Structure 1
Amino acid sequence: MSWNKIICSHKELQLFGTLNGGQSFRWNYDKINDEWVGVFSRTVWKLKQNDDHIQYQVIGSLIKEFDTKDSISYEKLLKDYFRLDLNLVKYYKEWSEKDELFQTACQQFYGIRMLRQEPVENLFSFICSQNNHISRISSMVEKLCTHYGDEICTTDGVTYFSFPQVEKLAVCDVESKLRQLSFGYRAKFIQKSAAQIVEWGGERWFNNLQDMKYKDAKQELMKLHGIGPKVADCICLMSLNHLDALPVDTHVYQIAAQNYLPHLRGKKNVTDKMYTEIGDHFRKLYGDMAGWAHTVLFCADLKKFQQNDDIKCESQKKRRKK
């Protein structure tokens, strides 16, 4: 199968930081072939990073109106997913001028893109993310796809499925099935939220959220079972085009307290008031794309956290050997 090409500098799109930073949970990196394999828009993709372009293959697709050889339509889909219409280098320059910490972080974490995800997948993936780590979230998302999605294709011995339609997750017996699959309390949140979305109009409801102001959309999302402020902000930012939404978790709190809001240091919990203060601070600093800008800082902090974790594991191994 031949590769197609999209002209795009690595400074405009860094696949590793973008696909491995906790936005989407359906991408896997193949070290041997130096390529990414993932699923979005009911399509299985392979991507390769180059200095001045991205290579892609469409492995299989359920999009009936597209022919798998129709590279123009798939290229448009991929460009839209990565928001390649936006000049990221220009925004990085603006954010760097406003913030020394960003200026430092962006040296390594250049080209971090905010994916334009499908709201249904994004919403239920982040319900799975609660009190969880990336590898387990990815496992749960794949279970949802395997049991409730549609088969797309099989390649290299792996069968890929689309993310399920919300109607399939709204059926009453979904909760008990997901509990059997080790989803725990999240099983109830998934089934109940799906039922609410179907009742409120499904895709039309999501379209209305995109048309609302950010804070109104966030409040609507929080009416769903199991959706709190952080998950609502993730959904607003990653799939509803509210790029000023800023999810505040432990990492984001630590970044804010250590570098911007010292009076928040040493707090045991992030209160509603603190959550709002942190978000408003970054919105004032970065403007109407604060959520995107802060994602770069989040990636840098997450990398530092992972490196510290690796160092800790190595030291524990050495102690056990002694």
Structure 2
Amino acid sequence: GVLHGNLVHIHQSGDRLLYQSTPDSDLSDLLTSYFRLTDDLDAIYTKITKIADRDDHIAALIEKYPGVRIMRQPDPWECLVSYICSARATPPRITHRVETIATQLGRPLTLNAETRHTFPDPQTIIDASPERLQQMALGFDRVPHAIIEAAKSILDGRLDLHRLAQPDIPYNEAVSHLTDLYCVGPKIANCVALFALDKTEAFPVDSRVRNTVKRLYPSLQNSTDDQLIAWAQDLFGPHAGYTNQLLYMG
């Protein structure tokens, strides 16, 4: 796939990741960050298990899905647009929408006879006409408008995604800035916070996570999404995001 302006082919051999890439040949630091290879998974899941003492559901998920990681997206802008494109869409449909934007507006990269495209930056989005975005069939009519408005927010300085990723910016502040955007609610904001802004306490609630939590924990059956987020963060703290991924798999 395309990662931070590079076309990358990756495969795992034992406990090693092997890759080829273009145009950059040394992506070791980027891939270490992307896969969060410096996260101590054993320590994280041990901590989650201790927090959830006597919680057979979490213990079973950890046993069933060992090694589940949170991916750290290197480009928060691409991550934001990807989740804006997720409205009422399946993962394959979301992938298709993001690929359509890249193919039509990005730069081509070729590796081993495969050609893919980089994701366009905010200025490129603004330079494209709204009509062109509408023709890409990105979902609801408001999706292209939301992408354009997000690009404008970045270009005029109202939104600094890289600043929001800094450790001194708390989760609540990051989410608040994101939900100020048109068509961005708590789910999208929590996804971006978790996967691109290093807020590992973020807890995105989509229909899959919501249904799993309410199935496993009947006492939360009538909880709102905000209450589910508060439940996870109160219980798991900085590891709520990792717990979220287990529940998503469940």
Q: Residue 102 of structure 1 corresponds to which residue in structure 2?
A: 58
Secondary structure of the residue aligned to 2:165 is: helix
Q: Is the 8 A contact 2:214 2:221 kept in 1?
A: yes
Is 1:235 matched with 2:192? Answer: yes
Structure 2 residue corresponding to 1:297, chosen from 211, 230, 247: 247
1:178 equivalent among 133, 144, 159: 133
| Alignment-mate amino acid for residue 141 of structure 1 | V
- 2:46 matched to which residue of 1? 93
Q: Any idea what SS the aligned residue of 1:46 has?
A: strand
Distance in 1 between residues matched to 2:220 and 2:98, nearest whole Å: 38
2:236 to 271, 279, 286: 286
Q: Is the 8 A contact 1:237 1:243 kept in 2?
A: yes
Aligned to 1:39: 2
Which consecutive residues of structure 1, in runs of 5 or more, have no partner in the other structure? 1-37, 266-272, 302-322
- Give per-residue Cα distances to partners, 1:240-278, cap 9 Å, x unaligned: 11111111111221122222352525xxxxxxx712210
CA 1:154–1:201 in structure 2 vs 1: closer, same or farther (change >3 Å)? farther
Structure 2 residue runs of 5 or longer lacking an equivalent are none
- Contact 1:170 1:193 (C-alpha < 8 Å) held by counterparts: no
Q: Distance in 1 between matches of 2:189 and 2:16?
A: 34
2:220–2:228 Cα contact (<8 Å) kept: no
**How far does residue 43 in structure 1 lie from its aligned partner after superposition?**
0.9
Task: Output one character per residue of 1:54-77: Cα deviation in whole Å (capped at 9) or x when no partner.
Answer: 22222x12xxxx5x2xx4xx1111
Q: Hey, what's the Cα distance between the residues in 1 that align with 2:59 and 2:16?
A: 24
In 2, Cα distance between the equivalents of 1:286 and 1:100? 15
Alignment of 1:9-24 (within 5 A): none
Q: How does 1:1-322 map to 2 (within 5 A)?
A: 38-58=1-21, 60-61=22-23, 66=24, 68=25, 71=26, 74-97=27-50, 98=52, 99-117=55-73, 118-156=75-113, 158-171=114-127, 173=129, 175-183=130-138, 184-185=140-141, 186-200=143-157, 205-211=160-166, 212-265=169-222, 274-299=224-249, 301=250
Q: SS of the counterpart of 2:146?
A: helix
Letter in 2 for 1:253: R
Judge conservation of contact 1:172–1:191 (CA < 8 Å) in 2.
no
Instruction: Measure the CA separation in 2 of the matches of 1:263 and 1:220.
Output: 28
Compare relative contact order (CA 8 Å, sep 6+) and give the higher one, 1 or 2: 2
| Aligned position for 1:306 | none
Contact 2:194/2:203 (8 A) holds in 1: yes
Q: CA 1:51–1:106 in 2, change beyond 3 Å: closer, same or farther? A: farther
Does the 8 Å CA contact 2:44/2:239 hold for their aligned counterparts?
Answer: no
Deviations 1:123-143 (A, max 9, x none): 000000111011111111111
- Summarize deviations over 1:149-207 as a string: whole Å, max 9, x none: 11222533x3111111111112361x2112112124211111122112211266xx112
Relative to 1, partners in 2 of residues 1:165 and 1:277: Cα closer, same or farther, differing over 3 Å?
Answer: same
Q: Deviations over 1:212-263 (max 9, x none)?
A: 2111111111111111111011011110111111111112211222223525
| Conservation of the 8 A alpha-carbon contact between 1:222 and 1:228 | yes
Distance in 1 separating the partners of 2:211 and 2:171: 24
Contact 2:76/2:162 (CA < 8 Å) preserved in 1?
Answer: no
- Please list the CA deviations of residues 271-321 of structure 1 after superposition, one character each: whole Å capped at 9, or x if unmatched: xx712210111112222121122212212x3xxxxxxxxxxxxxxxxxxxx
Identity %: 26
